[in-house]
Amino acid sequence: MRIRIGMLCGLIVAAVFGLAINRAMAQAYPTRPITMIIPFPAGGNLEIVARPLAARLSASLGQPVIIENRPGGAGGTIGTKAVANANPDGHTLLLTPAAPLVTGPLIYRNLGYSSRSFVPVATLFRVSHMLVVHPTLPVDSMERLAEYAKANPGKISYASPGYGTQPHMLSEMFKLATGIDIVAVTYKGATPAVTDLVAGQVQMYFDSIALFLPHIQAGKLKALAVADDHRSDQLPDVPTTTESGFPELQGAFLACVAAPAGTPESIVNRLNQSINRILQSSEIEASVAKFGARTRIGSPQDLADYWSAEAEKWAKIIRAAGIKAE
């Protein structure tokens, strides 16, 4: 009996001691500059919020927050792996869309990380995907695009910012749903993909409204459909994929912050609270809204739930479309 009581007391002391250490770490954090890695080239969707977020987070935490673009690998997996292998002390973070964390591990077996290699920190913003084409393509709807592609097999190419990304999978789903023969051209990120699209090197591309909006407004790209149930406030005349007869073709770019697994909960919560306060700034909200995006305030658990739901959804699509590791 005395042994059991002694063991219980030991466990209580250990728990209290661990909690005290955790709190002390949170109070001391951060002790040096924080590196926030983006696993894609500069100029993509994440740039909407990356720099202003880093500046404000630096002011909030009292240490520099450095944005580092580290592109490469399939769908941003090199930069993602670097964070997975980093010391879980809150000084190395990942600023990313959900895809490298959710769909990457579903497609590739030897990434060097899994979805369990990270803990969710905060959601930043969400923006719907959209299907656009080069203006020289003589189509004005998804239906006309399918008809044109059938009449010209193998002559239309679509851009993808990475194998296994949502834009890639949406394009493959469109191909599967219509039976058309279109050619995949995979880029290392969204910036070179949209550059080639504007130049007419590729003809169609699914990606976020934020990426395309300036080019649509300048007449350099033609919008065919928003991959959502609701039309865009910025482009109210563009129908949704549901209205266009393809309700299954829905996707969104959700930007978030993650940390290596094992990062103390107290540090994760401090980061979450600081980021949420920044996102509520009217300046940040207005900046994000210009690109058709909306800030998302939530807890780490909210982000974990989103990752889980997305993994379940895209696993089915990956199987249906036969998407396999290259």
**Whether pLDDT at 33 is above 80:** yes
Comparison of pLDDT for 287 and 238, the residue scoring more: 238
* Total number of residues shown for the chain: 326
Q: Which two tokens stand for residue 316?
A: 């089915």
Calculate the dihedral angle through the C-alpha atoms of 55, 125, 175, 218, rounding to the nearest 10 degrees. Answer: -70
Q: Which two tokens stand for residue 251?
A: 């996707």
Comparison of pLDDT for 2 and 19, the residue scoring more: 2
Angle between helices 166-178 and 142-151 (to 10 degrees): 70
Comparison of pLDDT for 166 and 90, the residue scoring more: 90
Those residues with Cβ within 8 angstroms of residue 83's Cβ, 6 or more apart along the chain or in another chain: 37, 92, 93, 94, 118, 258, 259, 260
Q: What is the pLDDT of residue 266?
A: 97
Helix ranges, the chain (H): 2-28, 50-61, 77-84, 99-102, 104-107, 142-151, 166-178, 190-199, 209-217, 265-279, 282-289, 300-321
Q: Which two tokens stand for residue 275?
A: 């980021």
Q: Which two tokens stand for residue 62?
A: 């009292």
**Whether pLDDT at 158 is above 90:** yes
8 A C-beta contact, residue 121 and residue 272:
yes
**Whether pLDDT at 18 is above 80:** no
Q: What is the pLDDT of residue 118?
A: 97
* pLDDT-based confidence at residue 3 (cuts at 50, 70, 90): low
**Whether pLDDT at 20 is above 80:** no
Dihedral sign (CA 199, 253, 322, 241)? negative
Q: What is the pLDDT of residue 246?
A: 95
- Over its C-alpha atoms, the chain yields an Rg (Å, rounded) of 22
Q: What is the pLDDT of residue 23?
A: 54
Three-class secondary structure of residue 176 per DSSP: helix
Q: What is the pLDDT of residue 11?
A: 45
Name residue, tokens 């695009």. 145
Three-class secondary structure of residue 19 per DSSP: helix
Domains along the chain?
A: 11-126+253-321 (3.40.190.150), 128-226 (3.40.190.10)
Comparison of pLDDT for 13 and 196, the residue scoring more: 196
pTM for the full predicted model = 0.83
Average of per-residue pLDDT across 41-64: 92
**Predicted confidence (pLDDT) per residue in 240-264, tens digit:** 999 999 999 999 989 999 999 999 9
Alpha carbon 20 to chain centroid, angstroms: 35
Q: What is the pLDDT of residue 292?
A: 85
Q: How much is the mean pLDDT over the chain?
A: 89
